[in-house]
Amino acid sequence: MSKPSDFFLYSNYRYNGEFSPEKLAFNSNLQEFTQKVSYICSLETAGKLTPEESYQQIKSLWKDLKRSKKQLGIGAQNPANNNGDIDLQGD
């Protein structure tokens, strides 16, 4: 049984977009990415991580998210959107 703090720490919001199993899985991965980035930012702000450590961790998470997007075939039908890539200096 989950505790009330679990929702606060690991909040997960309902997917309201066009449904497909791939899009639902990617949405879940995206929510996990944003939650982890938020934690990293908080740790860096508190001085527990250096800016370089934070950058490297977020860059690694971003690569994982991009890999997930590619494996799930999200955006593959519309090459005009540049596949959602964002340049992260040296990526």
pLDDT tens readout for residues 27-68: 999 999 999 999 999 999 999 999 999 999 999 999 999 999
| 69 close to 75: Cβ distance less than 8 angstroms | yes
With the C-alpha atoms ordered 27, 33, 35, 38, is the resulting torsion angle positive or negative?
Answer: negative
Percent of the chain with pLDDT over 70: 70
> Could you tell me the pLDDT band of residue 15, with boundaries at 50, 70 and 90?
confident
- Spatial CA neighbour of 26 closest among 69, 78, 59: 69
Mean pLDDT of 76-90: 54
CB atoms within 10 A of CB 67: 11
> Could you tell me the pLDDT band of residue 84, with boundaries at 50, 70 and 90?
low
As a whole number, the mean pLDDT across the chain is 84
- The model scores a pTM over 0.75: no
